[in-house]
Amino acid sequence: MAKLTKIQKARAEMDREKLYSVDDAIKTLRENSSKKFDETVEVAINLGVDPRHADQMVRGMVSLPSGTGKDVKVAVFARGDNADKATAAGADKVGAEDLMEDMQAGNLDYDRVIATPDMMGVVGRLGKVLGPKGLMPNPKLGTVTPNVEQAVKDAKGGQVEFRVEKMGIVHTGIGKMSFKDADIKANFESISQAVVKAKPSGSKGKYVKKVTLTSTMGPGLKIDLSEIEGA
């Protein structure tokens, strides 16, 4: 039997039912970090909803004050001045029919797709391509907007989309282990409060059931719900 490393042994002895404060959870993740690469810090929020019902869908956008630590790739559907503004703001790809054809050919290596309202006739033809990947521009999420310049800056600056998965879980990255503790905590508070505020009308009973903080190679640590206002 292979000898366990110090970190593996510590994880094996960890109390899986212990409830952590956010500060203690971050500290514990650092102690169990592999140190071989900059791990992503992730949060999973289990909700008392059934997303198969429209009135129980949880979805929205939130700006993480400390950013994500990730290079976000953004594609923008726009013409003329709006195309120029999107390019100047840092969009990775800007276009119209040419961009649509490029995506139809399978080039979909983007984290966010933004469009001006007048381009939705073109974007609409990509519903079967962008929809399954969660990339379809949506006015409720601010990804269909005449102000593409600001939308690109928001996407590049740490704005993330959250959406409940079919098992009732919101899962997203909130930074890197190289971040300061205070920055990870600020991002955690922003996403957790955004999810609490997004409580749908059809949610009955306990809304936030469990919150787990983890890192790419680290253990899943249960967060004390008293740490989350409104949970």
* pLDDT, tens only, 99-149: 999 999 999 999 999 999 999 999 999 999 999 998 999 998 899 999 999
Q: Look at residue 228 in the predicted model and tell me its pLDDT.
A: 83
Based on the number of CB atoms within 10 Å of its own CB, is 38 exposed (0-12), middle (13-18) or buried (19 or more)? middle
Question: Does residue 192 form part of some domain?
Answer: yes
Residue 57 domain boundaries: 15-67+160-227
Q: Look at residue 1 in the predicted model and tell me its pLDDT.
A: 45
**136 and 31 co-located in one domain:** no
Residue ranges, the chain, pLDDT below 70? 1-15, 230-231
Mean pLDDT, all residues of the chain: 91
120, 139, 156: which is the final residue of a domain? 156
**209 and 101 co-located in one domain:** no
Question: Does residue 7 form part of some domain?
Answer: no
**134 and 165 co-located in one domain:** no
**89 and 111 co-located in one domain:** yes
Question: Does residue 164 form part of some domain?
Answer: yes
Question: Does residue 20 form part of some domain?
Answer: yes
**152 and 164 co-located in one domain:** no
**Please, are residues 136 and 113 in contact by the beta-carbon 8 Å criterion?**
yes
**132 and 118 co-located in one domain:** yes
Question: Does residue 8 form part of some domain?
Answer: no
125, 156, 187: which is the final residue of a domain? 156
CA separation for the pair 191, 92 (Å, rounded): 26
Q: Look at residue 3 in the predicted model and tell me its pLDDT.
A: 47
Residues 6+ apart with CB under 8 A from 119: 77, 78, 79, 96
**164 and 122 co-located in one domain:** no
Which CATH number characterizes residue 46's domain? 3.30.190.20
156, 185, 210: which is the final residue of a domain? 156
Number of domains in the chain: 2
**50 and 89 co-located in one domain:** no
Q: Which of 191, 130, 203 is nearest to 162 (CA)?
A: 191
Question: Does residue 98 form part of some domain?
Answer: yes
Which CATH number characterizes residue 97's domain? 3.40.50.790
